[in-house]
């Protein structure tokens, strides 16, 4: 069934529920000298390239490949449109390796036709903090699909990750592979219902008019929680403390230090936004919420070309009710002209989704670990990890 994935150190479907399997690495690390020194062979017309995402021309090539060929919904109405600034942010966290930003070009024309990336991360699985790669942005040009290029890209990124003495990875996909750590559901909260209906992202409910729908999703113009404000550099320590404590409650979560929080959560315009609640009395930082910006191209619509979407990232509520905190996040996203606010049912998100008028989407997101086995799949609420 899975000619490639059956050969990889990932949990196989046949292992499900086998109680004699222990949790931890599937294959032991081999010595670095045993890692293949040469890149894997590509079909003759193609060659490997390492993409310097700092270089504007290269970043533009990657952006164009992804904009035209990356993930679409099941009816091919929308395609993810990661911005160049977003890609630079996603691919250059603390300790990143340029060698993990891998492209494939046509030898003759030098056209970029495939891509895959890894970035380093420390991810805690139960009590163990494991050095991993987060693998993302796997993309093969539409005209080169089904030629078994993806397995070559995956083997090559694996080889380059092994060269840095890292033996585990985390990744997500919309497709089912052997074997999900957990399967999450996307939820969507309309901020601009008229546009969402016009582009076919959502439908007018039964017995609903457009004006009733607009009223249903209306939000106050300003956040309601006293002390709610944008995160700043001076907040790094208390925010890191808050986040580390919160993430310690999940079975799988990143092990963030201050450098990671500075990179992943300090606000960057149109890339990542973070807000917190500073107690007006004690000036303590008690709550935190964040979202990242990932627009989608609207395919085949004459009125609109993009949807501006915010994706819930990491949220921590200790004093403010989580529902109220996330309502304030919706309000600022609306203020900033996002059309929709998306969230997965990870962490404690279930507790606000229905109350804040999110509806279930038609997309699922499966989470995977490479070369690490858990005895049983997790519930989405046991997962404290959000990948981009």
The three-class DSSP label of residue 378 is coil
Distances from the Cα of 295 to the Cαs of 11, 38, 80, 225, 305, in angstroms? 33, 37, 6, 28, 10
Which residue in 168, 213, 312, 324 binds ligand NHW (CB under 6 A)? 168
What span, in angstroms and rounded, lies between the C-alpha atoms of 107 and 116? 18
119 versus 154: smaller Cβ distance to ligand NHW: 154
Binding flag, residue 190, ligand EN5 (CB under 6 A): yes
The three-class DSSP label of residue 267 is coil
Partner whose binding site includes residue 145, from ligand EN5, ligand NHW, none (CB under 5 to 8 Å by kind): ligand NHW
HSE-up of 60 (CA within 13 Å, CB side)? 3
Which residue in 5, 40, 217, 304 binds ligand NHW (CB under 6 A)? 5
112 versus 333: smaller Cβ distance to ligand NHW: 112
In 266-349, alpha helices (H) = 322-335
What span, in angstroms and rounded, lies between the C-alpha atoms of 356 and 5? 39
Cβ atoms of 287 and 316 within 8 Å: the answer is yes
Partner whose binding site includes residue 96, from ligand NHW, ligand EN5, none (CB under 5 to 8 Å by kind): none
The burial class, CB within 10 Å (0-12 / 13-18 / 19+), for 100 is buried
Mark whether 388 is an active-site residue.
yes
Cβ atoms of 104 and 153 within 8 Å: the answer is yes
Binding flag, residue 149, ligand NHW (CB under 6 A): yes
Q: What are phi and psi of 62, to 5 degrees?
A: -65, -45
1 versus 283: smaller Cβ distance to ligand NHW: 1
Binding flag, residue 202, ligand EN5 (CB under 6 A): yes
Binding flag, residue 145, ligand NHW (CB under 6 A): yes
What span, in angstroms and rounded, lies between the C-alpha atoms of 133 and 373? 16
Contact positions with ligand EN5 (CB under 6 A) in 51-90: 71, 73-75, 77
Cβ atoms of 361 and 119 within 8 Å: the answer is no
Which residue in 35, 42, 71, 163 binds ligand NHW (CB under 6 A)? 71
Binding flag, residue 25, ligand NHW (CB under 6 A): no
75 versus 337: smaller Cβ distance to ligand EN5: 75
Binding flag, residue 270, ligand EN5 (CB under 6 A): no
Binding flag, residue 245, ligand EN5 (CB under 6 A): no
Site string for ligand NHW, 104-133 (x = CB under 6 A): -----------------------------x
38 versus 74: smaller Cβ distance to ligand EN5: 74
**Shortest Cβ distance from residue 349 to ligand EN5 (Å)?**
14
Number of CB atoms found within 10 A of residue 31's CB = 7
In 276-347, alpha helices (H) = 322-335
Which residue in 120, 238, 363, 377 binds ligand EN5 (CB under 6 A)? 363
Partner whose binding site includes residue 217, from ligand EN5, ligand NHW, none (CB under 5 to 8 Å by kind): none
Site string for ligand EN5, 155-184 (x = CB under 6 A): -----------------xxx----------
Cβ atoms of 131 and 369 within 8 Å: the answer is no
**Shortest Cβ distance from residue 290 to ligand EN5 (Å)?**
16
**Shortest Cβ distance from residue 21 to ligand EN5 (Å)?**
27
Closest CA to 66 of 97, 90, 40: 90
Partner whose binding site includes residue 182, from ligand EN5, ligand NHW, none (CB under 5 to 8 Å by kind): none
Distances from the Cα of 78 to the Cαs of 84, 200, 360, in angstroms? 18, 9, 17
Which residue in 81, 136, 182, 286 binds ligand NHW (CB under 6 A)? 136
Give 137-181 as a DSSP string. EEEE-GGGTTSSHHHHHHHHHHHHHHTTT--EEEEEESS--S--S
- The residues binding ligand NHW (CB under 6 A) are 2-5, 69-71, 133, 135-140, 145-151, 154, 157-158, 161, 166-169, 171-173, 175, 177, 370-371
Residues taking part in catalysis: 388
- The residues binding ligand EN5 (CB under 6 A) are 71, 73-75, 77, 136, 172-174, 186, 188, 190, 201-202, 359, 361-363, 365, 387-388
């Amino acid at each position: 069934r899975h000619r490639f994935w059956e050969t990889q150190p990932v949990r196989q479907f046949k292992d499900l529920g086998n109680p004699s399997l222990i949790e931890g690495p599937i294959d032991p690390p081999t010595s670095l000298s045993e890692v293949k020194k040469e890149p894997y062979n590509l079909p003759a017309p193609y060659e490997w390239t390492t993409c310097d995402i700092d270089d504007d021309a290269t970043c533009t090539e990657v952006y164009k490949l992804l904009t035209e060929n990356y993930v679409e919904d099941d009816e091919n109405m929308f395609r993810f449109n990661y911005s160049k600034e977003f890609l630079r942010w996603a691919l250059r966290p603390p300790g990143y390796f340029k060698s993990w930003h891998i492209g494939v070009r046509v030898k003759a024309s030098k056209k970029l036709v495939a891509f895959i990336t890894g970035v380093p991360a420390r991810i805690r699985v139960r009590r163990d903090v494991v050095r991993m790669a987060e693998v993302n942005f796997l993309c093969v040009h539409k005209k080169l699909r089904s030629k078994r290029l993806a397995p070559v890209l995956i083997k090559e990124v694996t080889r380059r990750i092994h060269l840095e003495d890292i033996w585990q990875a985390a990744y997500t996909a919309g497709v089912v592979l052997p074997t999900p750590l957990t399967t999450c559901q996307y939820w969507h909260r309309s901020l601009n219902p008229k546009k969402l209906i016009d582009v076919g992202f959502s439908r007018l409910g039964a017995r609903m008019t457009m004006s009733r729908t607009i009223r249903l999703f209306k939000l106050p113009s300003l956040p309601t929680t006293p002390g709610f404000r944008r995160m700043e550099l001076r907040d790094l320590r208390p925010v890191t403390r808050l986040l580390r404590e919160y993430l310690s409650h999940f079975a799988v979560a990143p092990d963030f230090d201050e450098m990671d929080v500075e990179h992943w959560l300090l606000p960057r315009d149109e890339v990542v936004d973070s807000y917190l609640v500073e107690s007006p009395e004690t000036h303590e930082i008690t709550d935190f919420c964040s979202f990242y910006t990932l627009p989608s191209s609207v395919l085949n619509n004459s009125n609109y070309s993009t949807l501006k979407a915010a994706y819930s990232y990491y949220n921590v509520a200790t004093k403010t009710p989580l529902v109220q905190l996330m309502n304030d996040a919706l309000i600022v996203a609306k203020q900033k002209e996002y059309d929709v606010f998306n969230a997965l049912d990870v962490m404690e998100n279930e507790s606000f989704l229905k109350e804040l008028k999110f509806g279930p989407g038609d997309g699922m997101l499966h989470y995977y670990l490479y070369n690490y086995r858990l005895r049983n799949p997790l519930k989405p609420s046991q997962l404290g990890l959000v990948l981009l």
